[in-house]
Homo-oligomer: A and B are copies of this chain.
Amino acid sequence: MLMTEVIRAKRDRESLPPHVIRQVIREYTDGTIPDYQMSALLMAVYLNGLDKTELTAWAGAMLHSGEVLDLSSIPGAKVDKHSTGGVGDKISIPLAPLVAVCGVRVPMISGRGLGHTGGTLDKLESIPGFRTDLSIPQFVGGVARVGACLIGQTDSLAPADRKLYALRDVTSTVASIPLIAASIMSKKLAEGVSGLVLDVKVGSGAFMKTLDDARELARTLVAIGEGNGVKTEALLTDMNQPIGRAVGNALEVRESIEVLRGEGPRDTTALVEALGGAMLRMGGQAADQEEGEARIRAAIASGDGLDRFRWMVEFQGGDPWVVDEPDRLPAAFHTKDLIFNEDGFVRAVDTEKIGMAGVLLGGGRRKKEDQIDPAVGMEIRVRIGDAIRRGDVSATIHYNDSDRLAAAEAMLAEAWTVGPEPPEQGPLVIDRIAGAGSPG
């Protein structure tokens, strides 16, 4: 195989055979193929795309560039959930213990926040003592014993993805649906799961701003999963406003505990039910979506989900008392209420601005090296469609630094659009995209 011929073929919109793609990924990972050839190929892929067969091979080759976890010693279904990223997206935290309670194990390898979206690892680490850097054997042990475990990326899984991502980052080839999808799926499939539920976000706070793009990403993700032998289903969900009330690491853990107590915001709870229901269906613990959602609700009502979360926190070195006394979580020194200056209805929210305000407060990262402050964040007090009056509170800011407060306030100044009429509103779960191999 000549790499120049591979680049030429993709440049000329030809389809690359799977064995060629596998060799390219292998030889790029081991350094045989230099960066300057790979970046030309990446740009050709960016502009000319990859078809379904190519995508399956590309993601599969990245997946097999490193260790693939073997969870076969653990009985039963192992199903993970992955979100493409949103604002206030704490769903994994209540979801994992609830699904585990219902008999489907959840091995979850997650990421950190970057840009306007938060990361589950950062949120969980706001629990004093909570460790996400468990070894692979410890992780497998957690999945086997507790039923759910949540750790960060390790160097041994999908090393091709790290090397390729670094190159894409400096060659403007990040925002490509096939490359994004292959990157996501290579990491998730390396977890050794039997099923995967994807939460593909669409709207002002998501990476995919349009339904068409989100649907294409969802289809691409599902095709890669199914092509690599893993049952995969994607939910397209609304990200035109933050999920629930809390945006910020410790604040989101607090809201997660509220969900587990049956006291969570309606939309957060509804998303947990929808995604959890799909995971139970996929794991063979529910005959249909309805039964799956009912089982999740029952696990909330019984308190079993809360108990399982307490165990999960304890297993991962965190302070289990947090679950019963959320005031043990880090809290900001100050709060400030932002108020509306007009009467009307909340018509729209610039969700990305809310996410960026959280970063400006110190709760997220602009660069990978940035340190985060777990205590800061916002409680969002209104939702789209709410009637508001001049003087009503839009958000309560939790802050530790007045300069950072000022920056966040400036960012939030025009985050809410108010008008005289309530807007039309769409559903929270917009669509479901299942592969041929997924249970309906």
Contacts and interface: CB of A to CB of B under 8 A. Distances in A.
Interface stretch (A35-43, A70-78, A146-154, A213-221): A35-43
Contact of A39 (B8, B40, B47, B169): B40
Q: Secondary structure of the A side of the interface? A: helix
A34 B40 CA distance: 13
Contacts of A44: 43, 47
A417 interface: no
Nearest to A10: B172
A271 to B, nearest CB: 33
Interface in A21-50: 34-44, 46-48
A40 B172 contact: yes
A1 interface: no
Contacts of A40: 39-40, 42-43, 171-173
A36 B172 CA distance: 11
* Number of chain copies forming the complex: 2
A291 to B, nearest CB: 47
Interface residues of A, number: 26
A432 interface: no
Contacts of A135: none
Nearest to A43: B43
A113 to B, nearest CB: 21
Interface of A: 3-5, 7-8, 11, 34-44, 46-48, 167, 169-173
A37 B4 contact: no
B37 A171 contact: yes
A46 B170 contact: no
A345 B43 CA distance: 49
A20 to B, nearest CB: 14
A390 B186 CA distance: 66
Nearest to A46: B11
A42 B172 CA distance: 13
A324 to B, nearest CB: 48
A4 B47 contact: no
Closest 6 pairs between A and B when the two form their complex, measured CB to CB: A35-B36, A43-B43, A40-B171, A7-B172, A8-B172, A39-B40
A252 B161 CA distance: 56
A240 to B, nearest CB: 25
Contacts of A3: 170
Nearest to A167: B36
B4 A172 contact: yes
